[in-house]
Amino acid sequence: MAAGATYEPIYSTTLSTNAASITFSSIAASWTDLKLIFVTTITSSAHTKVQLNNDTAGNYSAIIIKNTGTSNSTSTSDSNGNYIFVSNMPSVSVPCFYTYDFFNYAGNTYKTCLSSSSTDINGSGVVGRSVSSWRSTDAITSIKIDSNGNNFKPGTIATLYGIKAA
Amino acid sequence: MAVTYTLISSSVLSSTTASVTFSSIPATYTDLMLKVSGRSVGNGEWFGSLRLRFNSDTATNYSVRSMTATPSVGYGEETSISFFYGAYAINGENGTANTFSNAEIYIPSYTANQEKPFSMSAAVENSATSQPFRTESASLWRNTAAISTILVYSDANFVSGSSFYLYGIKNS
């Protein structure tokens, strides 16, 4: 068993006013994996964007399974996106819950992210799960959660945890 | 170094039991995680419904959207509004003996003065070709109260060996 804590909060932000984005920067390479927990409402529903190291190029890919309630569960893919994609259209009134797990984030290989969207809005909404790849060998040092031209509302909370293998 | 991931309470059943209750949950954490390894008896099925009720709320304040993958039908969906949270997430009595499911429920911001979203991931594998499945769900409890009690039950009974672990996670 590891001598110290293996699951630590690195950064946490709770919004008291509207904010267009939340950025966690200067992420140290001290952990093995990262986990982002995000609960939000938004001023206008749109896909939020999660981008790494300010990379806005088409270096992200994803495959998603989801149930939107308007049809049978479906899978979709996005091969050259400019952000990590999950079925993440937050509600303007009901808190919605997202998770992002980044594995081996400081390694020198492409980065994999498992993400989840849990946005039940009293019988409508989306349950989505996805796997994404960021085609960069850089260590992840910043994570930006962007509201895509809108604002995250007060009460939104984002926490980044570091998980150590040893 | 802060301890941010703490076991609040646990229960490992030594006999067939209808429910497990976690009460007096302190408001000192940011999020809650409930891990269940379960198997049911009494409903004559391959699988069972894992159900939750918060703070003894029996009104129709729970909604769930699930997608379930099985080898026979691919994946399907279920949406409901009910007086409890429920999703197929535990092994049933028709499956291979001694097989138990894995289910993880994550409840973020459980003390926040807002409606409570939460997620569940479950795997029900029974070492047989019939009815293994994987469930993912998004849920909402439409209540702004802090969660202080969680009742865990099913559409039947939990068998001996079923286990329930409730963890608190702090963001500071």
- What are the structure tokens assigned to A43, written together? 């001023």
Residue ranges per structural domain of chain B: 5-169
| pLDDT at position A166 over 80 | no
pLDDT tens per residue, range B114-139: 999 999 999 998 776 677 888 999 99
- What are the structure tokens assigned to B91, written together? 């092994």
What DSSP designation does A123 have?
A: T
Nearest to B5 among A4, A7, A122 (CB): A7
Contacts from B72-77 at CB under 8 Å and sequence distance 24+? B75/A65, B75/A73, B76/A72, B76/A73, B77/A67, B77/A69, B77/A72, B77/A73
| pLDDT at position B80 over 70 | yes
Residue ranges per structural domain of chain A: 7-163
Q: Is the dihedral of CA B66, A40, A157, A88 positive or negative?
A: positive
pLDDT tens per residue, range A86-109: 766 788 899 999 999 999 999 999
pTM above 0.90?
yes
For chain A positions 89-128, those within 8 Å of chain B (CB to CB) are 94-97, 99, 116-123, 125-128
- The third-level CATH classification (topology) of the domain covering B5-169 is Jelly Rolls (2.60.120)
Q: Which residues of A touch B114 (CB under 8 A)?
A: 95, 155
In the CATH scheme, what is the code of domain A7-163? 2.60.120
Calculate how close chain A gets to B60, using CA atoms only, in Å. 10
Three-class SS string for B29-53? CCEEEEEEECEEECCCCCEEEEEEE
pLDDT at A161: 96
